[in-house]
Amino acid sequence: MKKIIVISITILSAVGCYYFLYYLPHEIQIKNQSAETRKLAKFDIDIQKACSEASEKLYLREGNSHKVGNDYECHHNKKLNKCFMVISNMDMSGGATTIGKTLVDVYSHQAIGDYTWHNPGDKKYWEITPTWSVQGEYGEGEDGWVEAIRKFMEG
């Protein structure tokens, strides 16, 4: 009978130690992290919302409109702590088609890069290679443009 009591006390002591030394502090840490995570998530959403609103205002202020072929995409880059947008415009006049894109730092209103695809109308679309420039780097092709703006539009 004494053995059973000693074993029971030992088990209860082990459970109590586990609860007070590991489980309880771990639960408190999780609750604190959850509150901090919620606060950071709300802050992140607020920053993204501000970036989106500022992009829309700049887009419209510059005389752009949301018609077919014209639009923008914005992104708040956490690493650079900046808001960027790519404005896309398409013009079809006189039998020619031009697609232009501009990468813009929204808050400074500075153009960072440009992309142009122009077909005078006498070629197939795949016969025309777009040209682009981003911060003094020049290239050709859609893939090069996407890669060049990735450091601004991701992260």
Largest CA distance in the chain: 102
Can you tell me the distance from the alpha carbon of 126 to that of 103, in angstroms, rounded to the nearest whole number?
24
Whole-model pTM above 0.95? no
Q: What is the pLDDT of residues 9-51, one digit of tens each?
A: 555 455 444 555 555 565 655 555 566 666 655 667 888 899 9
DSSP letter, residue 131: E
Q: Is 89 exposed, middle or buried (0-12, 13-18, 19+ CB in 10 A)?
A: middle
> Which tokens belong to 132?
């682009």
Can you tell me the distance from the alpha carbon of 101 to that of 93, in angstroms, rounded to the nearest whole number?
17
Q: How confident is the model at residue 149 (pLDDT cuts 50, 70, 90)?
A: very high
Can you tell me the distance from the alpha carbon of 84 to that of 52, in angstroms, rounded to the nearest whole number?
9
Domain ranges of the chain: 1-155
Percentages helix, strand, coil for the chain (3-state, rounded to 5) are 50, 30, 20
User: What backbone torsions phi and psi does residue 40 show, to the nearest 5 degrees?
Assistant: -65, -40
Q: What is the pLDDT of residues 96-145, one digit of tens each?
A: 999 999 999 999 999 999 999 999 989 998 999 999 999 999 999 999 99
Query: Could you tell me how many residues make up the chain?
Result: 155
Can you tell me the distance from the alpha carbon of 24 to that of 30, in angstroms, rounded to the nearest whole number?
10
Helix (H) or strand (E) holding 71: strand 71-77
